[in-house]
């Protein structure tokens, strides 16, 4: 089933493999480079590519050397990337990632913001190495609306840059999940407390992006119950069940396997459009396999996202199609910002 086509919004995908978003930290002055275009174009046989996290505004930048999509110069640089992917027959969504409290003044020149003034209790990447995450500044109600608007504005610019759509990053402890979290979100106003309060920011952000570019061009990534970057969530089945019921009918939801299979299956039953699953979860010692993907397709998923397997296998679709061995995933030292381990992995040589 992985190699069969699927209709995603207005896009006909030739297969059900999604290249998952992965931070690569190789941007220059907040812009993708010519190598970025090569990197994604090499992997254009994926049914869908979702880019690395792209900050929707300056305060949303979480890590050094990551790209944005909030200036005209960034739009022009991304246009080179999307043109290259489309020239190779691919389809590409930009992942809009607002780091929220996961950031540092050394990264973007701003004190990070969050739903509440509660630090992650973990370390974050900075230009001078790993440092303790600072206490974020709690967003005032009016500022919450500003961050919602930033997602919508960035989505418009992504479409201007040639992207086929956008994915809001609501997983892995970043701003959207911080509002969902009972540990990061200690607000007592309409954006906290109850389940309805904690899902409100996510729903408003998705609604704003949908209004900006159309539901068929929008997805959201979630990691239900994932415990990373200081995140704790209470009553995960109810929290995410209510979130899925409150979201507009966008093109897809993209879930990491961060909770028991039975909860994932229940969430799948609640969702009316395409359902992407990443079997690897958040912290996995090995990349996901074709067999895991096929199992989840049989269990009701529509598409399967692969992350690490795509690092060293730009031709992952062809390797699955022909039953070829996968190249070994490189060591972590090549994942972020290294001079090698980016565009230098060849297709399979017979």
Chain length of the chain: 350
Q: Over the stretch 151-193, which tens digit does the pLDDT of each residue have?
A: 999 999 999 999 999 999 999 999 999 999 999 999 999 999 9
pLDDT of residue 285: 57
Instruction: Enter the tokens of residue 133.
Output: 């995450």
> What is residue 300's DSSP assignment?
T
Helix/strand/coil for 132? strand
pLDDT tens figures, 268-316: 999 999 999 999 887 765 678 999 999 999 999 999 999 999 999 999 9
Q: Say what the pLDDT of residue 286 is.
A: 66
CA atoms 190, 192, 196, 202: torsion sign = positive
Of 92, 96, 93, which is closest to residue 69 (Cα–Cα)? 96
Ranges of residues in the chain with a pLDDT under 50 are: none
Q: Domains of the chain by range and CATH?
A: 33-274 (3.20.20.70)
* Active-site residue identified among 174, 191, 252, 306: 174
State yes or no: is 342 an active-site residue: no
DSSP 329: P
Q: d(Cα 343, Cα 41) in Å, to the nearest integer?
A: 10
The alpha carbon torsion through 209, 277, 349, 286 (nearest 10 deg) reads 120
Query: What pLDDT score was predicted for residue 270?
Result: 97
**What per-residue confidence (pLDDT) applies to 91?**
98
Contact by Cβ (8 Å): 119, 133: yes
Residue 218: strand pairing partners: 166
């Amino acid at each position: 089933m992985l190699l069969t086509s699927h209709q995603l919004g207005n896009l006909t995908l030739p297969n059900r493999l999604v290249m998952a978003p992965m931070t690569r930290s190789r941007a220059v002055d907040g812009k993708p480079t010519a190598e970025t275009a090569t990197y994604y174009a090499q992997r254009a046989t994926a049914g869908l590519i979702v880019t690395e996290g792209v900050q929707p505004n300056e305060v949303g930048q979480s890590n050094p050397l990551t790209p944005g999509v909030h200036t005209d110069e960034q739009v022009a640089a991304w246009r080179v990337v999307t043109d290259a992917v489309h020239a190779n027959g691919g389809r590409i969504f930009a992942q809009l990632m607002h780091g929220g409290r996961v950031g540092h003044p050394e990264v973007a020149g701003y004190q990070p913001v969050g739903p509440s003034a509660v630090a992650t209790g973990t370390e974050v990447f900075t230009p001078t190495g790993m440092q303790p995450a600072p206490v974020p500044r709690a967003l005032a109600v009016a500022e919450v609306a500003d961050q919602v608007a930033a997602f919508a504005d960035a989505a418009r610019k992504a479409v201007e840059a040639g992207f086929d759509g956008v994915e809001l990053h609501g997983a892995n402890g970043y701003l959207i999940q911080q509002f969902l979290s009972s540990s990061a979100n200690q607000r007592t106003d309409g954006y906290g407390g109850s389940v309805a309060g904690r899902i409100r920011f996510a729903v408003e952000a998705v609604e704003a992006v949908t209004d900006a570019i159309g539901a068929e061009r929008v997805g959201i990534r979630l990691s239900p119950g994932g415990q990373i970057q200081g995140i704790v969530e209470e009553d995960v089945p109810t929290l995410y069940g209510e979130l899925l019921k409150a979201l507009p009918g966008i093109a897809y939801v993209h879930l990491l396997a961060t909770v028991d299979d039975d909860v994932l299956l229940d969430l799948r039953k609640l969702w009316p459009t395409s359902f992407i699953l990443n079997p690897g979860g958040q912290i996995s010692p090995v990349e996901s396999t074709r067999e895991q993907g096929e199992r989840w397709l049989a269990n009701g998923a529509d598409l399967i996202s692969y992350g690490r397997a795509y690092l060293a296998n730009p031709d992952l679709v062809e390797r699955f199609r022909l039953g070829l061995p996968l190249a070994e995933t490189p060591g972590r030292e090549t994942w972020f910002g290294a001079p090698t381990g980016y565009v230098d992995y060849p297709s399979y040589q017979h």
